[in-house]
Amino acid sequence: MDSENWLTIAPNASKGKADQVIELRPIEQRSRSAASYRHSNSAQITRIEIENFKGISKLHIDLPESTPSSGFAPCTMLIGENATGKSSVLQAVALCLMDEQLRKKLKLKPQQYLPRERQGWKYKGLKEARVTIHFDSTPPAELVIKPTDTDFSTSREHVPTKQIFGFGANRQFGNASRQTLKKDNIYSLFDTTKLLSPPTEWLKGVDDQTFFSVARAIREVLALPREDTIIRNDEGQIFVKAHGIETPIENLSDGYRSLFCMIINIMRELISYWGNLENASGVALIDEIEIHMHPRWKMRVVAALRRAMPRMQIIATTHDPLCLRGLEAGEVQVLYRDSKEQIQTFEDLPNVKLLRAEQLLTSEYFGLNSTSDPDLDLTIKNLAYDHQKKGFEGTTESFIDQLGEGYLPLITDSPEKQVISEAIRRYMMEREDANPVQLKNAKEYAVTKVLEALKKVGN
Residues 202 and 78 both lie in one domain: yes
- Counting residues of the chain whose pLDDT is more than 70, the rounded percentage is 68
- Compute CA distances 277 → 10, 155, 215, 250, 326, whole Å: 23, 29, 12, 25, 20
Residues 347 and 378 both lie in one domain: no
User: Does a structural domain hold residue 255?
Assistant: yes
Q: What is the mean pLDDT of residues 322-336?
A: 91
Which of the residue ranges 125-139, 180-194, 438-452 would you say has the lowest mean pLDDT? 438-452
pLDDT, position 234: 86
Q: Is 154 helix (H, G, I), strand (E, B) or coil?
A: strand
d(Cα 153, Cα 156) in Å, to the nearest integer? 9
Residue 5 — pLDDT band, cuts 50, 70, 90? very low
Give yes or no for residue 36 having a pLDDT over 60: no
Helix (H) or strand (E) holding 316: strand 312-317
Any idea of the CA torsion for 373, 357, 46, 213, to the nearest 10 degrees? -130
Residue 7 — pLDDT band, cuts 50, 70, 90? very low
Q: What is the mean pLDDT of residues 19-27?
A: 35
Residues 275 and 237 both lie in one domain: yes
pLDDT, position 4: 32
Beta carbons within 8 Å of 171's beta carbon, 6+ residues apart: 188, 196, 258, 259, 261, 262, 291
DSSP string, 38-70: TTTT---EEEEEEEEETTEEEEEEEPPP--GGG
Smallest Cα–Cα separation from 420: which of 441, 392, 439? 392
Residues 227 and 305 both lie in one domain: yes
- Compute CA distances 348 → 157, 330, 345, 351, whole Å: 36, 9, 10, 9
pTM: 0.76
Smallest Cα–Cα separation from 316: which of 106, 165, 190? 165
pLDDT, position 12: 37
User: Does a structural domain hold residue 22?
Assistant: no
pLDDT, position 8: 30
Residues 57 and 148 both lie in one domain: yes
pLDDT, position 38: 46
pLDDT, position 453: 64
Residues 345 and 388 both lie in one domain: no
Q: What is the mean pLDDT of residues 205-218?
A: 90
Residues 280 and 351 both lie in one domain: yes
Residues 97 and 64 both lie in one domain: yes
Which of the residue ranges 62-71, 185-194, 277-286, 430-439 would you say has the lowest mean pLDDT? 430-439
pLDDT digits (tens, 9 = 90+) for 414-456: 555 666 666 666 666 666 666 777 777 777 776 676 667 666 6
d(Cα 122, Cα 108) in Å, to the nearest integer? 19
Q: Domain range spanning residue 427? A: 374-458
Highest-scoring range by mean pLDDT, 87-91, 195-199, 349-353 = 87-91
Residue 305 — pLDDT band, cuts 50, 70, 90? very high
pLDDT digits (tens, 9 = 90+) for 42-70: 689 999 999 999 999 999 999 987 765 56
User: Does a structural domain hold residue 152?
Assistant: yes
pLDDT digits (tens, 9 = 90+) for 63-119: 987 765 567 899 999 999 899 999 999 999 999 999 888 888 899 889 899 988 777
Residue 383 — pLDDT band, cuts 50, 70, 90? low
Total domain count, the chain: 2
Q: Which of 314, 342, 362 is the last residue of a domain?
A: 362
Question: Which residues is 141 bridged to in the sheet?
Answer: 133
Residues 231 and 350 both lie in one domain: yes
Fill in the DSSP letter of residue 145: E
Q: Which of 324, 339, 362 is the last residue of a domain?
A: 362
Give yes or no for residue 10 having a pLDDT over 50: no
Q: Which of 313, 331, 362 is the last residue of a domain?
A: 362
pLDDT, position 40: 46
d(Cα 49, Cα 52) in Å, to the nearest integer? 10
- Counting residues of the chain whose pLDDT is more than 90, the rounded percentage is 28
Beta carbons within 8 Å of 400's beta carbon, 6+ residues apart: 407, 408, 411, 417, 420, 421
Residues 382 and 357 both lie in one domain: no
Q: What is the mean pLDDT of residues 12-36?
A: 38
User: Does a structural domain hold residue 8?
Assistant: no
Give yes or no for residue 408 having a pLDDT over 60: no
User: Does a structural domain hold residue 37?
Assistant: yes
User: Does a structural domain hold residue 249?
Assistant: yes
Q: Is 46 exposed, middle or buried (0-12, 13-18, 19+ CB in 10 A)?
A: middle
Residues 448 and 324 both lie in one domain: no
- Compute CA distances 154 → 34, 95, 159, 235, whole Å: 26, 9, 9, 47
The alpha helices in 147-207, defined as continuous H runs, are 200-205
Residue 283 — pLDDT band, cuts 50, 70, 90? very high
User: Does a structural domain hold residue 124?
Assistant: yes
pLDDT, position 371: 58
- Strands (E) in 136-183, as ranges, are 141-145, 153-154, 163-167
Average pLDDT, the chain: 77
Residues 350 and 378 both lie in one domain: no
Smallest Cα–Cα separation from 268: which of 172, 201, 208, 190? 201
pLDDT, position 184: 76
CATH of the domain at 323: 3.40.50.300
pLDDT digits (tens, 9 = 90+) for 133-161: 999 888 899 999 998 888 888 875 656 65
Helices 436-458 and 415-431 cross at an angle (nearest 10°) of: 170
Fill in the DSSP letter of residue 279: S
d(Cα 264, Cα 282) in Å, to the nearest integer? 15
User: Does a structural domain hold residue 10?
Assistant: no
pLDDT, position 27: 36
pLDDT, position 28: 38
